[in-house]
A and B are shown apart, each in its own frame.
Chain A
Amino acid sequence: EPEVTQTPSHQVTQMGQEVILRCVPISNHLYFYWYRQILGQKVEFLVSFYNNEISEKSEIFDDQFSVERPDGSNFTLKIRSTKLEDSAMYFCASRDRTSNTEAFFGQGTRLTVV
C-alpha cells in the first residue's frame, strides 16, 4: 500500500543550526502539508502546498520556515536558525487531486533542538 515516508525519523540539532526535514508523498498526490506537534500537545497546521506554491500557511510558519518540492518527488521543510521551542514532531501529509479525499500522514520526524 502506498505510504508517505519521512526522513530522518529523529534529528538532533544545535540551536541556531539549519535543518531540512524530508518527505516523500504518495506518488500521484498533488496536495502537500506540514504539521507540527509539540510533545503532549495538539497537532498544529504549518503550511499547505499545491501546484509548486504555498496555498495556505499558519502564523507559526514565519520567515524561519520554508518549503520546497525540489525534484517532483520530495517535499522538504527547512527550518533556519532553529530555536529550542522548535523541538517537536513534524508530520508531512499528502492528498490526491480529487476534492473531499483524506490526507495520508507520514510517521513523523522528531526534531530535538539542544
Chain B
Amino acid sequence: GQQLNQSPQSMFIQEGEDVSMNCTSSSIFNTWLWYKQDPGEGPVLLIALYKAGELTSNGRLTAQFGITRKDSFLNISASIPSDVGIYFCAGTGNQFYFGTGTSLTVIP
C-alpha cells in the first residue's frame, strides 16, 4: 500500500509552543484523517476531513484538507506534555493509506 509522506519526521518543542506538521501524497484522496499514537498503544483518530479546503478544529487541534486533495496539515496550539506521541495522517477513498508519522516531544 502506498504510504503518505509526513514532515517533519520528529519535533522537539517547549511546552506552550504551537506545532505544525503536514502530509503529502502523489494521489488524490476523498478523506484525510489524523491519528495520534501514544507510546505502547494503537493509533486513535483525532480529526477527519471530508472536503477539499475544509478546515476543522478539535480543541487545540486544527487540520485542513488541501485544495489539491493531495495534502493536509495539522496544527496544535499551546502544546502540553500530554501531546507527546506520534501523529499519523491517513488518506482514504476505496483504499486506506497510512502516513510515515511525525514524532512529537514536548519539553516541560
Contact = CB atoms under 8 A, between A and B. Distances in A.
Interface residues of A, number: 25
A42 B30 CA distance: 24
A95 B96 contact: yes
Interface string B23-55: 000000011010101001111110010100000
A35 B65 CA distance: 25
Interface stretch (B13-21, B70-78, B85-93): B85-93
Interface residues of B, number: 26
Given A58-B1, A105-B42, A43 B88 contact: yes
A48 B44 contact: no
A48 B101 CA distance: 20
A65 interface: no
A48 B1 CA distance: 8
Contacts of B98: 35, 43, 45
Consensus secondary structure, chain A interface: strand
Interface of B: 1, 3, 30-31, 33, 35, 37, 40-45, 48, 50, 88, 90, 92-98, 100-101
Given A48-B1, A48-B95, A107-B42, 9 more contacts: A4-B42, A35-B98, A42-B100, A55-B95, A58-B1, A100-B31, A100-B50, A102-B31, A107-B41
Q: Which 4 residue pairs of A and B lie closest in terms of their CB atoms, listed nearest first?
A: A105-B42, A45-B1, A100-B31, A100-B30
